[in-house]
């Protein structure tokens, strides 16, 4: 892999083409993507990409698969300069490649990468080109990636989404940010940002930190949401003039201002993208009176309701595998085994699986709650609840559950019919729990009243 130090002919990136392979380039690594696992019709493997910039300022994306990926992942460090030769060039695939070059490069195990040790390491400063939140509308459904800066208003709990393309479960977290255009927007953080930075933001969100985010996709149907991609960069409380300006504005006016979601009205329904909590609002009686809802494909609604009854003698949690969250088989006396991961373990996570009755002003319905949502409603983790149950006479356990009843929340529900012993039933699952914003709820009700009056 490592060449001799014979002076070599260095080519400029701009001069490279697929028909002449005998080149060496001298480039700085200006971006390094994460190692990703893929599984598609052509097989499975590992891949990662880097962005290379030469003296001229030309940039090119280089991708490595499997053996080459493993070989070069540790070699490539952000900001360092490398001599590279024996790579392949081909036309850039704009779906996966946002770098400005007609070509992209692939390196395989025979490619040569050597660090130029005499060159200074220069980690490039992320260059942002912020779009004010109220201007996001013009970027809707365009391929262009945008940058935003705003302060955090809300951080959701982590959600598990099944990715349609490969059936894999990926974590997602939604954050709401706002800026001085008095508009707010939801940014969906996908793995690894959902867990990494996402967890950090969840811990610090009451300090309303400023985040500067680079490379977001704009999407939405009637409303606007932003989504992260593999190359998205998030800086928390950056030391930049825009960040300071926003922090000052927040301190003087921003903390008491009322914000509106950009591009949305209360009645807008968003099905696939992050829903507004005011879209598809129904009462519980609407759902329970219509058993064929969600027949072809599950349907989603939002509602405001209280948990009114929870059976205290049901089994509210299960022993879950620490890696994949599937239910563990209890090998009495010798720990647990996981059928999915094919391992045995002595330790497990307790995860919620709860069935409870909910009520609102018009009706009531039984619903299923899992994990994070159950934890938000019950107010403690499954492990803590289990500890309360076995302590003394279980008084603390009963009190905890009682305290959780008759507390209003706003829910996002998934509804589908279910056959049970030839009986047509309904399965309602709580997908998201949100606190009630009383001012916004009042506005929504006033809106509703005036629309029924006319």
Partner 1 sequence: MDTSSPAVLVNGDLLRGYVGQRVRTVIQVVRPEANGLTGRSTDEKQIVVKGQMPAPLTTFVEVIGVADSAQSIHAEIVTNFGDSFDTSNFNQLCQLANGEYRHLFI
Identity of the residue, 327 or 443, whose beta carbon is nearer to partner 1 in the bound complex: 443
Q: Between the CA of residue 197 and those of 79, 287, 454, what are the distances in Å?
A: 22, 37, 47
Residue closer to partner 1 by CB (options 117, 449) is 449
Task: Supply the minimum distance, in Å, between the C-beta of residue 445 and partner 1.
Answer: 9
Distance, in Å, from the CA atom of 365 to the CA atom of 286, rounded to the nearest integer, reads: 10
255 vs 344, which CB is nearer to partner 1? Answer: 255
Q: Give the Cβ contact number of residue 193 at 10 Å.
A: 24
Per-residue binding letters, 204-243, with partner 1 (x by CB under 8 A)? ----------------------------------------
> Is residue 342 at the binding interface for partner 1, with CB under 8 A as the rule?
no
* Among the listed residues 6, 117, 296, 439, the single contact to partner 1 using CB under 8 A: 439
Quick one: which of 8, 327, 431, 443 contacts partner 1 (CB under 8 A)?
443
Query: In the set 42, 162, 258, 297, which binds partner 1 (CB under 8 A)?
Result: 258
Q: Name which of 70 and 443 has its Cβ closer to partner 1.
A: 443
* Binding residues for partner 1, total number by CB under 8 A: 7
Report the residue number, 129 or 256, with the smaller CB distance to partner 1. 256
Place of tokens 């989504």: 227
Query: Which span sits near partner 1 by CB under 8 A: 221-229, 243-251, 342-350, 435-443?
Result: 435-443
> In angstroms, rounded to a whole number, what is the distance separating the alpha carbons of residues 92 and 78?
22
Out of 323, 446, 448, 451, point to the residue binding partner 1 (CB under 8 A).
446
Residue 363: CB minimum distance to partner 1, A: 22
- Whether the Cβ atoms of residue 173 and residue 194 lie closer than 8 Å to each other: yes
- Shortest CB 439 distance to partner 1, Å: 4
Please confirm whether the linkage preceding 192 is cis (ω < 30° from 0).
yes
Q: What are 327's strand-pairing partners? A: 320
Question: Which residues neighbour 212 within 8 Å (Cβ) at sequence distance 6 or greater?
Answer: 126, 128, 130, 147, 148, 149, 234, 235, 238, 240, 242, 243
Nearer to partner 1, 330 or 442 (CB): 442
Is residue 401 within 8 Å of residue 378, measured between CB atoms? yes
Q: How far is the CB of 208 from partner 1 (least distance, A)?
A: 15
The alpha carbon of residue 145 and the mean position of all alpha carbons in its chain are separated, in whole angstroms, by 17
In the complex, least distance from residue 360 CB atom to partner 1, rounded to whole angstroms? 19
Q: From the CB of 442, what's the least distance to partner 1, in Å?
A: 4
Structure tokens at 162: 């099944």
- Residue 451 touches partner 1, criterion: CB under 8 A: no
Please choose, from the candidates 366, 411, 383, the residue with its C-alpha nearest in 3D space to the C-alpha of residue 316.
383
- Smallest distance from the beta carbon of 100 to partner 1, in angstroms? 47
Task: Please state whether beta strands 24-32 and 43-53 pair in parallel, antiparallel, or not at all (unpaired).
Answer: antiparallel
- Which stretch, 165-173, 355-363, 421-429, 436-444, contacts partner 1 (CB under 8 A)? 436-444
| CB-nearer residue toward partner 1: 390 or 452 | 452
Cβ 441 to partner 1 shortest distance, Å: 9
Would you count residue 452 as binding partner 1 (CB under 8 A)? no
By CB under 8 A, is residue 256 in contact with partner 1? yes
Separation of alpha carbons 454 and 441, rounded Å: 20
Rounded Cα distance between 194 and 179, Å, is 22
Does residue 442 interact with partner 1 by CB under 8 A? yes
β-bridge pairing 59-65 and 10-11: unpaired
Q: Is 27 exposed, middle or buried (0-12, 13-18, 19+ CB in 10 A)?
A: buried
d(CA 16, CA 103): 9
Interface residues toward partner 1, by CB under 8 A = 256, 258, 439, 442-443, 446, 449
């Amino acid at each position: 892999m490592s060449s001799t130090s014979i002076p070599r002919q260095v080519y400029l990136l701009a001069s490279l083409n697929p028909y002449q392979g005998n080149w060496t380039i001298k480039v700085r690594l200006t971006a390094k993507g994460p190692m990703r696992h893929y599984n598609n019709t052509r097989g499975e493997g590992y891949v990662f990409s880097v962005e290379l910039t030469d003296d001229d300022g030309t940039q090119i994306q280089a991708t490595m698969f499997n053996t080459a990926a493993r070989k070069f992942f540790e070699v490539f460090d952000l900001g360092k300069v490398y001599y590279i030769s024996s790579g392949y060039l081909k036309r850039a695939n704009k779906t996966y490649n946002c770098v400005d070059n007609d070509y992209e490069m692939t390196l395989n195990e025979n490619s040569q990468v050597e660090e130029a040790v005499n060159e200074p390491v220069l980690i490039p400063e992320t260059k942002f080109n912020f779009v004010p939140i109220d201007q996001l509308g013009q970027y809707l459904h365009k391929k262009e990636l945008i940058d935003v800066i705003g302060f955090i208003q809300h951080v959701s709990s982590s959600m598990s989404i099944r990715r349609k393309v490969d059936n894999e479960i990926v974590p997602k977290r939604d954050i709401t940010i706002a800026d001085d255009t008095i508009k707010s927007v939801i940014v969906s953080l996908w793995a690894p940002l959902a867990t990494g930075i996402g967890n950090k933001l969840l811990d610090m969100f009451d300090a309303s930190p400023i985040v500067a985010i680079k490379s977001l996709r704009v999407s939405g149907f009637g409303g606007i949401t932003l989504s992260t991609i593999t190359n998205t960069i998030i800086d928390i409380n950056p030391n930049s003039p825009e960040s300071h300006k926003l922090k000052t504005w927040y301190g003087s006016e921003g903390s008491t201002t009322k914000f509106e979601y950009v591009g949305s009205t209360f009645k807008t329904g968003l099905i696939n993208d992050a829903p507004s909590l005011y879209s598809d609002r129904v009462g519980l009686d609407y759902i329970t009176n219509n058993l064929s809802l969600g027949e072809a494909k599950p349907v989603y609604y939002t509602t405001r309701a209280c948990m009114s009854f929870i059976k205290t003698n049901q089994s509210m949690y299960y022993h879950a595998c620490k890696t994949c969250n599937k239910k563990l088989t209890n090998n009495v006396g010798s720990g647990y085994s996981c059928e999915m991961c094919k391992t045995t373990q002595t330790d497990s996570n307790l995860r919620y699986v709860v069935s409870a009755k909910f009520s609102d002003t018009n009706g009531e319905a039984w619903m299923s709650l899992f994990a994070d949502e159950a934890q938000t409603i019950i107010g403690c983790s499954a492990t803590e609840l289990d500890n309360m149950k076995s302590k003394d006479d279980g008084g603390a356990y009963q009190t905890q559950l009682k305290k959780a009843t008759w507390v209003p929340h706003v829910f996002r529900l998934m509804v589908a019919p279910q056959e049970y012993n030839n009986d047509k039933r309904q399965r309602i699952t709580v997908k998201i729990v949100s606190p009630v914003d009383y001012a916004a709820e009042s506005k929504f009700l006033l809106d509703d009243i005036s629309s029924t009056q006319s």
